[in-house]
Amino acid sequence: MKTIFDKSVAGREGCWPCEGMAEEAYIPAELLRQGEIGLPSASELDVVRHFTKLSQRNFGVDGNFYPLGSCTMKYNPKFTENVAALPGFTRLHPVLPQLQGAGGLCQGALEVMFETERLLSELTGMAAYTLHPMAGAHGELTGVMLMAAYHKDKGNKKTKVIVPDSAHGTNPASAAIAGYEVISIESVDGIVSPEALAEVLDDEVAGMMMTCPNTLGLFEKNLPKIVEMLREVDALLYYDGANLNAIMGKMRVGDVGFDIVHLNLHKTFATPHGGGGPGSGPVGVSEKLVPYLPISRVEKQEDGQFRLNYKHPKSIGYVAPFYGNFGVVLKAYAYMLRLGGPGLTRATENAVLAANYMRKRLADHFEVPYNRICMHEFVASAAGQAKAGVHAIDIAKALLDKGHHAPTVYFPLIVPEAIMIEPTETENKETLDRFIDDLIEIAELVDTTPEAITTAPVTLPVTRLDETRAARSMELTDDL
Amino acid sequence: MPYVPHTDDEVRDMLATIGVDSIEDLFAEISSDMRPASFDMPEGLSEMDVLTKLEAMAARNATDRVSFLGAGFYDHYIPAAVDALTMRGEFYTAYTPYQPEASQGTLQAIFEYQTAITRLLGMECANASVYDGGTALYEALMMAVRKTKRRKIVVSEALNPIYRVMLASYTSNLDIEFVTVPHKDGQTDIEGLKAAIDGETAALLVQNPNFFGSINDFTELFNACRENKAVSVISSYPVLQTLLKTPGDMGADIAVAEGQSLGLPLSFGGPYLGIMTCTKKMVRQMPGRIVGRTEDSEGRTGYVLTLQAREQHIRRQKATSNICSNQSLCALRALVHMCALGEMGLKRAARVSVERAHVCAERLTAIDGVEMLTKGPFGNEFAVTLPINAYEAIARLTERGYVPGFPLGRYYKDLENGLLVACTEKTSEEQIGIFAEMLKGALK
């Protein structure tokens, strides 16, 4: 499909933001840009039609089942959009509460933040939260910075962070970027074993980053022992909460002994993913880490008024210019109010139910390396099919032809030909069954007509795309 | 049960297939000592009740004030097409385009965004991944450190202080040294910066217009960077970039910006968009998702995520950055905004904003005791000094429905009387007139 730049016609006017066209005389000529910019000149209808057509070349949850493991692509109720679109929120300038006498002008927004932090604390059993991190990985970085601040303050000499091989790929990247050496440990029977941990655990370990349930969809049942071991060397335990959808109401990470947790509001708390972002990654901490939380922090005063407090001498400082992705926080807050504790628990129960149902039905047709009760997702493998020359990627593409988005493939790295499936709680049984039946049909085709799969997709606007060529040619913009 | 479709019969069926008696059996591995100590969450509310509650909270935010607040975040007009198109479910409820054939909409949109943004800034490559203008600066700084293997960062004090405090937090555990060159009465001290750049410098960080609204040409300064093999980084304001000499024309290696002013509401600080661009030479250092054009097996044009070998899902601890999201929806808003206004519309917004600011400056400085702090050319924002503490003036005017601007004393100790004032095309001349009258009254 042509780009909007190809459709541009010189001189055609878009919509006017305002009347008038002031002179450039206010700025000296030598500071002005030369020549045209090269932005499109198109009518509003040209633009509307272009982006409508573009959108039709996309799968989204509103149109397609999206069982993308580790991404929690659940349906997000539409009413939260009305909340986030209230002008009382969208028009609020972020520096307003920093002006003297102006804190009173944004009490509603401050209350949203205060209440959201309180609900998240109760849900996860943590002492306090910051809403500032703007994505899950940003929350991880913030969490590791908190870890570093804690040890520095206590005078601990710590250089290493342990990350199991079943953790999310961002965990080691975040630890490394915060300045730590990353120690990887192999999982045993799909989970972290205390014995493997003992081999690498010493006084130089600042903490360990765990994903639970892990990327295999398995619950880390050795947690109490792991917590005990880390405490002995004053190492902190970090919980990657991207998979919180699996445990709400069933376990609170704070009660188990985790010191730091990040949540992905755009996963568990139902904010649309928008093609990959924006997200929001609040971080919760146990009591001993509260002094290090980023500033500002929202507080409720005795008179019931809310205020921002910037005076926290041990704080790690600013990880965001303001208060995080407030618009995303709003949706998460509305979602929590709507579901309440019982609703969140039932979301978890049904997510886990759906995953186990699919695992059980598919296990006769695909290898499932850890074929036992899983949490909200499970990992199958196309290793069997690969012997016939059909790989996980081919199966993924064949699913696209059937109108489903593909599961996550080749992740986690510890399962060959991995197909990681996360159905979520919002898909009805007909959808689950249709996906399972389609996948079984694909498995049967592997034996009879494998080329029908290796040439997929054939029903979409494009067939398989040449990624090697893209990396080599580096065509990253439209040439003028 | 909201948003969960399974009937009791279906649940029984599914449990029977799994071979367990109850849903609780699925959680057997969470032993009793790991169960919640308490779970004092509220009961759920209806959609209507939640909406009513949130409407009441929104009403406690006074968004009816006439505001001259900017400080890097601006209230520009957003065409209705931006909401209408970006809210389409196919865009809105999609994920990171891991299966390109099913995500050509998202991918082509990012490619078009990359194109529009590089043209706007006069640069060669862009990503669509960074959270906001501050983290874009941090990522630029880290690119420079990786590229040069040096640790000294030269930064202008006229660079937005909100970003400078962020940079300090991010680098507190890293071996990085900042050399901050003071501003000169609100001007970027070009000679001072030049003198601070040497063979140890990893990066120079400057802003145009700077925090005080002052406009510069940094060509000479960036030449000095090149001579010292240091990386030049500029943060700019995208709307004004339709008028101003581009970072590319000045010879910048990396240009970043806060993308909020391109179609994103102020929304109390987020979500915003970190614009990040660089030269082709630097692209392998650039974090985040980048889209490339390619062909399918039939020779048709298509788009994919590319240069992924730098990324965390492949290189784990050796990755260029930990950034995983691609801020795609915000980039889409910026793209649709630029397209809907078009080349002329965006220039119009910029020019009118600049004109209003100059009218405003003239009206304010006509008041006894109010002086321009910003010397020389400025765009749609400028600083004045008042005869009284700026916080005081702000408090007096805010009571009367006008938010006059940002108090410079918050970040600059010697500028307690300094007030930073911004206008956009939404600021009317009538509002400017009332503002000037009110300020005059408040200073008496």
- Residue numbers in B near A49 (CB within 8 A): none
Q: Which of A22-31, A127-136, B60-69, B198-207 has the lowest mean pLDDT?
A: A22-31
CATH of domain B80-337: 3.40.640.10
Nearest to A108 among B58, B77, B99 (CB): B58
Q: Which pLDDT value is given to residue A178?
A: 87
Residues in chain A: 480
A87 contact B CB<8A:
yes
Instruction: Give the model confidence (pLDDT) of B42-72 as tens digits.
Output: 999 999 999 999 999 999 998 888 999 999 9
Nearest to B105 among A58, A83, A466 (CB): A58
* CB pair distance less than 8 Å for A338 and B44: yes
Question: Where does residue B403 fall: left (phi above 0), alpha (psi -120 to 50 degrees), or beta otherwise?
Answer: beta
Instruction: Give the model confidence (pLDDT) of A441-461 as tens digits.
Output: 999 999 999 999 999 999 999
Instruction: Give the model confidence (pLDDT) of A227-255 as tens digits.
Output: 999 999 999 999 999 999 999 999 999 99
Amino acid at position A431, single letter? T
Taking residues B101-106, what's their average pLDDT?
98
Nearest to B34 among A50, A223, A474 (CB): A223
Nearest to A90 among B73, B133, B267 (CB): B267
A310 contact B CB<8A:
no
Q: Which pLDDT value is given to residue B319?
A: 75
B1 pLDDT above the threshold of 80: no
B282 contact A CB<8A:
no
A153 contact B CB<8A:
no
Please report which confidence band the pLDDT of residue A309 belongs to, taking 50, 70 and 90 as the band edges. Answer: very high
| Cα pseudo-dihedral A326, A328, A331, A336, rounded to 10 | -90
Please report which confidence band the pLDDT of residue A99 belongs to, taking 50, 70 and 90 as the band edges. Answer: confident
Taking residues B276-294, what's their average pLDDT?
95
Please report which confidence band the pLDDT of residue A17 belongs to, taking 50, 70 and 90 as the band edges. Answer: confident
* CATH class of the domain whose range is B66-74+343-442: alpha beta
For chains A and B, CB pairs below 8 A equal 695
* CB pair distance less than 8 Å for A31 and B358: no
A75 contact B CB<8A:
yes
- Shortest alpha-carbon distance between residue A28 and chain B (Å): 7
Partners of B61 in beta bridges: A106
B375 contact A CB<8A:
no
* CB pair distance less than 8 Å for A475 and B293: yes
Please report which confidence band the pLDDT of residue B259 belongs to, taking 50, 70 and 90 as the band edges. Answer: very high
What does the DSSP 8-state code read for residue B44?
A: P
**pTM for this one?**
0.97
Take residue A105 and report the two structure tokens written for it.
């002008």
Take residue A438 and report the two structure tokens written for it.
């389609």
- Interface confidence (ipTM) of the complex: 0.97
Taking residues B113-138, what's their average pLDDT?
97
Name the average pLDDT for chain B: 95
Nearest to B268 among A71, A148, A326 (CB): A326
- Name all domains of chain A by residue range, CATH numbers in brackets: 5-56 (no CATH), 79-338 (3.40.640.10), 341-467 (3.90.1150.10)
- Residue numbers in B near A15 (CB within 8 A): 79, 81, 340-342, 345
Instruction: Give the model confidence (pLDDT) of B179-188 as tens digits.
Output: 999 999 999 9
Please report which confidence band the pLDDT of residue B252 belongs to, taking 50, 70 and 90 as the band edges. Answer: very high
Block residue for tokens 């206004």: B341
* CB pair distance less than 8 Å for B283 and A476: yes
Q: Which pLDDT value is given to residue A480?
A: 58
B2 pLDDT above the threshold of 90: no
- Shortest alpha-carbon distance between residue B312 and chain A (Å): 6
Q: What are phi and psi of A188, to 5 degrees?
A: -120, 120
> Is A308 within 8 Å of A97 (Cβ atoms)?
yes
Q: Which pLDDT value is given to residue B94?
A: 96
* CB pair distance less than 8 Å for B169 and A48: no
| Nearest one of B315, B337, B341, B310 to B129, comparing CA atoms | B310
Q: Which pLDDT value is given to residue B382?
A: 98
Each domain of chain B, given as residue ranges in start order, spans: 8-51, 66-74+343-442, 80-337
CB-side neighbour CA atoms (13 Å) of A117: 25
Please report which confidence band the pLDDT of residue B322 belongs to, taking 50, 70 and 90 as the band edges. Answer: confident
Taking residues A345-362, what's their average pLDDT?
98
B274 pLDDT above the threshold of 90: yes
Residue B440 to residue B444: CA distance in whole angstroms:
7
- Residue numbers in A near B50 (CB within 8 A): 79, 83, 334, 337-338
> Is B75 within 8 Å of A93 (Cβ atoms)?
yes
For A30-176, strand residue ranges (E) read 128-130, 160-164
Q: Which pLDDT value is given to residue A479?
A: 84
Q: What are phi and psi of B213, to 5 degrees?
A: 95, 0
* CB pair distance less than 8 Å for B104 and A12: no
> Is B337 within 8 Å of B79 (Cβ atoms)?
yes
- Residue numbers in B near A125 (CB within 8 A): 36-38
B143 pLDDT above the threshold of 80: yes
- Shortest alpha-carbon distance between residue A115 and chain B (Å): 11
Please report which confidence band the pLDDT of residue B314 belongs to, taking 50, 70 and 90 as the band edges. Answer: low
B299 contact A CB<8A:
no
A101 pLDDT above the threshold of 70: no
A362 contact B CB<8A:
no
B268 contact A CB<8A:
yes
- Shortest alpha-carbon distance between residue A17 and chain B (Å): 6
- Shortest alpha-carbon distance between residue B355 and chain A (Å): 6
A418 contact B CB<8A:
no
- Shortest alpha-carbon distance between residue A388 and chain B (Å): 22
A102 pLDDT above the threshold of 70: no
Residue B40: other Cβ atoms inside 10 A = 8
* CB pair distance less than 8 Å for B293 and A470: yes
* CB pair distance less than 8 Å for B57 and A274: no
> Is B186 within 8 Å of B215 (Cβ atoms)?
no
Residue A139 to residue A294: CA distance in whole angstroms:
11
B313 versus B290: the higher-pLDDT residue is B290
The DSSP annotation for B265-296 comes to: --GGG-S--EEEEE-GGGGGG--S-EEEEEEB
Which of B13, B76, B267, B307 to substitute to test the interface with A, most A CBs within 10 Å?
Answer: B267
Q: Which pLDDT value is given to residue A461?
A: 96
Q: Cα A285 to chain center, whole Å?
A: 19
Q: Which pLDDT value is given to residue A211?
A: 92
- Shortest alpha-carbon distance between residue A411 and chain B (Å): 9
| Nearest one of A327, A295, A300 to A311, comparing CA atoms | A295
N-terminal to C-terminal alpha carbon distance within chain B? 62
B349 contact A CB<8A:
yes
Q: Which pLDDT value is given to residue B317?
A: 74
- Compute CA distances A345 → A272, A405, B4, B39, B55, whole Å: 20, 27, 11, 10, 27
CA atoms B404, B410, B414, B420: torsion sign: negative
Q: Are strands A283-285 and A260-263 parallel, antiparallel or unpaired?
A: antiparallel
